[in-house]
Copies of this chain bind each other. A is one copy, B any other.
Amino acid sequence: MELQQEISQLAAELGAILADKGIWITTAESCTGGGISYALTDTARSSRYIDRCFVTYSNEAKQALLGVSATTLANFGAVSEQTVIEMAQGAALAANAQLAISVSGIAGPGGGSTDKPVGTVWFAITLDDKTQSLKRIFNGSRSEVRVQAIVFALKKLIEIIKN
């Protein structure tokens, strides 16, 4: 359970920076299923920087709540750079937040392919009008992949917000 403690600490660190800078954050989560928003709201007074978050598990949800285009999903799939970019930008817009993170991956145990093995996770982070995307391939069980994705997301958010 060491990673759980790390998640709490990272979320608290990120929250303190957001509160200090007056930056609002939102999340658009697929494979992590709300784990990032759960971590971020574990800190007291997180209502100073979180208004709403999205768990968009299906393609339809990604389209309806975040405005991801059907063409993008059809051409590149839900677990793709193009999709997470549209998810993050759509979430920022829908939540009127300066900062947004999106996550879409294959947590397993099923669903993997040669191109996109189990553990493949795409992330995008939008800050103001700039979006960056990242891919990681994590090892381990479904739960382990998800926890590592949450840790990675929080670390990246801290890194980006500090610069």
Contact surface of A with B, Cβ cutoff 8 Å: 1, 4, 8, 27, 29, 31-38, 40-42, 44-47, 50-58, 60-61, 64-65, 95, 108-110, 142-143, 146
Contacts and interface: CB of A to CB of B under 8 A. Distances in A.
Given A1-B1, A1-B4, A4-B4, A40 B33 contact: yes
Nearest to A8: B143
A34 B32 CA distance: 10
Given A44-B109, A47-B57, A142-B44, A52 B38 contact: no
Given A34-B41, A38-B32, A42-B143, A52 B50 contact: no
B34 A146 contact: no
Contact of A55 (B44, B53, B61, B108): B53
Copy tally for this chain in the complex stands at 2
A64 B52 CA distance: 10
**Which 7 A-B pairs rank lowest in CB-CB distance, beginning with the nearest?**
A33-B41, A34-B34, A52-B61, A34-B37, A53-B55, A34-B38, A35-B38
A71 to B, nearest CB: 20
A4 B29 CA distance: 21
A56 to B, nearest CB: 6
A8 B4 CA distance: 14
Contacts of A45: 110
A118 to B, nearest CB: 11
A97 to B, nearest CB: 11
Contact of A50 (B47, B57, B108, B109): B57
